[in-house]
Chain A
Amino acid sequence: MSKQAETPFPPGALEREAEIADTRNRWLLSLPAIVIIVCAAAGPLLVMVVYSFLTPGDYGNVKWEFSLDGWTNTIVQRDIFDDTLIWADAHLSIFWRSFSLSLITTILTLIIGVPTAWFVATQPPGRREFWLFLVTVPFWTNLLVRTIAVQELIRSEGVINLILLKIGIIDAPIQMMFTDFAIGFGMTYVYLPLMVLPVYAAVDKLDFRLVEAAHDLYAGRWTAFRRVILPLIKPGIIAGSILVFVPCLGAYVTPRVLGGGKNLMFGNLIELQFGAGRNWPLGAALSLMLMTAVMVALIFYVRITSREQADG
């Protein structure tokens, strides 16, 4: 504005022109992102929403007839004999298993992951990268391979059973494969890095002088952890919990390999509808249900963290 006197234009004209050009450039620059969002996210989602309100085709696919069955079938089903509506117990137990196993997995990764992240973050800088590398190594390995490695551990002739038999703790192999335990164990292993990394980032950012200040003000180790460390690394813990919980809810490969055909989880149920079940609308409805659940969890998270940020 100080240059007003030197320019022949009325005050503000140049700024306005620059603003218009700026807006235009911003739209142009964000075009690729918009295209990707529409093609890769919004578009397929719309297809899912539409399909969930159609009728299943005979050999998969859909018939273009409106139907709410896709949605109602998620939780109720018609009795084969008298056509009354009854709760879809199979589905409900799958929902429950997905939820409870995801929760247990999240808790287990918390118990293992937080101390691990703490350990890595408090290493001297040179060694930290090495430990971090070890934590992320499984990421570079195919999920299926990792899951089969877990299977090698826990199957009846697997490493764990062989050792236990050898040292005589058990007489017969423990059945671990194709149980909920197997799924939980596998998922804990597979998703552990997703807990460790955000918690590590939070601990890494933690100002250890604050911990010293807490000790200086008469806090013992546990109180300092509870009153100072925990509140400060909480964003990392919440982020890690969501990063573990959300993919667990929709996990497909791990429950399939380790849980077998009986112990289905949400992801497997969806897959079943698009495969052998030949009920695409139901599959689409289930997918949208899962997505809604995840969205609710995320909104919850954002509201917690943004409220905390608003507080300071």
Chain B
Amino acid sequence: MTSQTAHAEPSDATDTDTDTAAIAVDVDRVSKIFRGETEVRALDDVSVGIRKNEFFTLLGPSGCGKTTLLRLIAGFEPPTMGAIRLGTRDISRLPPNQRPINTVFQNYALFPHMSVAQNIAFGLEMLGKPKAEVQRTVDEMLHLVRMEELKNRRTSEISGGQQQRVALARALAPHPEVLLLDEPLSALDLKLRKDMQIELKRLQHETGITFIFVTHDQEEALTMSDRVAVMSAGKILQVGRPRDVYERPAERFVANFIGESNFLDATLSGGTVELAAGGRFEVRVPEGVRDGAVSVLVRPEHATVHSGEPGEGEIAATAENVVYSGEATVVHLRLATGEAIKIRLANAPQGGEAPPRTGGAAAIRIAPGAVTVLRD
């Protein structure tokens, strides 16, 4: 967890550790500008290297450009600037039907006039595979997504979850080098979504295909991905393993978008921050942050709180609100500086140490390494 965190800045075009593994898709300084009545810069000088056999997720709020990047990789739109390479081959100008890349569409886009099996066979037929091979691959795919019994159904006669699996099978059947998934789980209900998350991981593992997954759901991104790219306003803000982007977000936006956050004022001087509310912490200083006033992040579950006066290395606060929510209790506190902070305590069996009471004095202990300096 030392140098894994990578920042996609225009200055260092790709993240530092992609050189270690073979690159499947190389997005090289790509911009996409939609010219209409107003000019929209959907992608702004984006560079990222997606490794072979990787489950890579593009995460961001709607309108951040993640779907545009996916459509560019698929070939539905050409990049305005920059290049997209498959391995070392430039595919920026190839039409979608000449790219060994398949897509699972957000609404599945299954052909309504074909059966489940015909849908899955479509790509193979287009590639001119012999009939017997098409038949065999279709059966394999039906087995892979556990849809053998419904192979002759029309796509309108099966449930959303089943359509989802057919869309997956259809995209996997031609065995593409890269599979693109555009928010494929967003239309499913929670339980089905959880099941499909595991299913997708299994499929990716079994097929060994590079998955590029687009979502706005941070939990989905964290649970499924090998690496995540957090996007906002047409830029990639940070690329890294789920743990890195969660625990070591580089920017306030990333910290805010992924998980719950406390932002506190602090002063940085040579690798140590002193919180305005008190307490000194050793920190890792991200590139481009100078000594002086900074903003730091503390995750709610990375600190504890107890009632009473603060001891050594603890911060005094007043409990304003205590909310029990089953597996945890969330304590909302006010620091001496007037800053608000919330802390999430895992609930112990009854009889354990009680959380502070509303309105009572409390002491906060922040775990070592839990303070992250943010680039603003």
Closest to B126 in A: A218
B97 touches A219 (CB 8 A): yes
User: For the complex, is B123 an interface residue (Cβ under 8 Å from A)?
Assistant: yes
Stretch at the interface among A20-28, A73-81, A204-212, A280-288: A204-212
Given contacts A218-B97, A311-B154, A312-B154, whether A212 and B109 have CB atoms under 8 Å apart is yes
Interchain CA distance A215-B174 in the complex, whole Å: 13
Closest to B36 in A: A124
User: For the complex, is B156 an interface residue (Cβ under 8 Å from A)?
Assistant: yes
User: For the complex, is B111 an interface residue (Cβ under 8 Å from A)?
Assistant: yes
Q: Smallest distance from the beta carbon of B318 to chain A beta carbons, Å?
A: 52
User: For the complex, is B57 an interface residue (Cβ under 8 Å from A)?
Assistant: no
Residues of A within 8 A of B126 (CB): 217-219, 223
User: For the complex, is B107 an interface residue (Cβ under 8 Å from A)?
Assistant: yes
User: For the complex, is B96 an interface residue (Cβ under 8 Å from A)?
Assistant: yes
The proximity string for A residues 5-46 relative to B, scoring 1 for CB distances below 8 Å and 0 otherwise, is 000000000000000000000000000000000000000000
B155 touches A312 (CB 8 A): yes
Interchain CA distance A311-B127 in the complex, whole Å: 27
Of the candidates B107, B115, B127, B157, which one forms a contact with A218 in the assembled complex, judged by CB atoms under 8 Å apart? B127
Given contacts A220-B97, A231-B113, whether A214 and B122 have CB atoms under 8 Å apart is yes
Q: Smallest distance from the beta carbon of B62 to chain A beta carbons, Å?
A: 17
Number of A residues whose C-beta is below 8 Å from B?
19
Interchain CA distance A223-B171 in the complex, whole Å: 18
B156 touches A312 (CB 8 A): yes
User: For the complex, is A303 an interface residue (Cβ under 8 Å from B)?
Assistant: no
A209 touches B105 (CB 8 A): yes
Interchain CA distance A200-B151 in the complex, whole Å: 33
Closest to B128 in A: A218
Binding site secondary structure of chain B: mixed
Of the candidates A216, A231, A311, which one forms a contact with B74 in the assembled complex, judged by CB atoms under 8 Å apart? A216
User: For the complex, is B170 an interface residue (Cβ under 8 Å from A)?
Assistant: yes
Interchain CA distance A216-B110 in the complex, whole Å: 12
The proximity string for B residues 250-266 relative to A, scoring 1 for CB distances below 8 Å and 0 otherwise, is 00000000000000000
User: For the complex, is A272 an interface residue (Cβ under 8 Å from B)?
Assistant: no
The proximity string for A residues 118-142 relative to B, scoring 1 for CB distances below 8 Å and 0 otherwise, is 0000000000000000000000000
The winner among A215, A223, A227 for most chain B CB atoms within 10 A is A215
User: For the complex, is B102 an interface residue (Cβ under 8 Å from A)?
Assistant: yes
A217 touches B170 (CB 8 A): yes
Question: Could you say which interface size class chain B belongs to?
Answer: 20 to 34
Residues of B within 8 A of A213 (CB): 103, 105, 109-111
Binding site secondary structure of chain A: helix
Q: Smallest distance from the beta carbon of B369 to chain A beta carbons, Å?
A: 45
Q: Smallest distance from the beta carbon of B77 to chain A beta carbons, Å?
A: 10
Interchain CA distance A174-B369 in the complex, whole Å: 94
Interchain CA distance A207-B110 in the complex, whole Å: 10
A216 touches B97 (CB 8 A): yes
User: For the complex, is A251 an interface residue (Cβ under 8 Å from B)?
Assistant: no
B127 touches A232 (CB 8 A): no
The proximity string for B residues 112-138 relative to A, scoring 1 for CB distances below 8 Å and 0 otherwise, is 110100000011001100000000000
Closest to A308 in B: B113
Residues of B within 8 A of A216 (CB): 74-76, 96-97, 101-103, 171
Interchain CA distance A225-B111 in the complex, whole Å: 13
The proximity string for B residues 139-172 relative to A, scoring 1 for CB distances below 8 Å and 0 otherwise, is 0000000000000001111000000000000110
Closest to B101 in A: A216
User: For the complex, is B279 an interface residue (Cβ under 8 Å from A)?
Assistant: no
Sorted nearest first, the 8 A-B pairs with minimum C-beta distance are: A312-B154, A217-B123, A218-B126, A213-B109, A215-B96, A209-B109, A231-B113, A218-B97
- 26 A-B pairs whose Cβ atoms sit less than 8 Å apart in the complex: A209-B109, A210-B109, A210-B112, A212-B105, A212-B109, A213-B110, A213-B111, A215-B75, A215-B95, A216-B75, A216-B76, A216-B171, A217-B102, A217-B171, A218-B98, A218-B123, A218-B126, A219-B97, A219-B122, A219-B126, A220-B97, A227-B122, A228-B111, A232-B112, A311-B154, A312-B154
Residues of chain B touching chain A, judged by Cβ–Cβ distance below 8 Å, are 74-76, 95-98, 101-103, 105, 107, 109-113, 115, 122-123, 126-127, 154-157, 170-171, 174
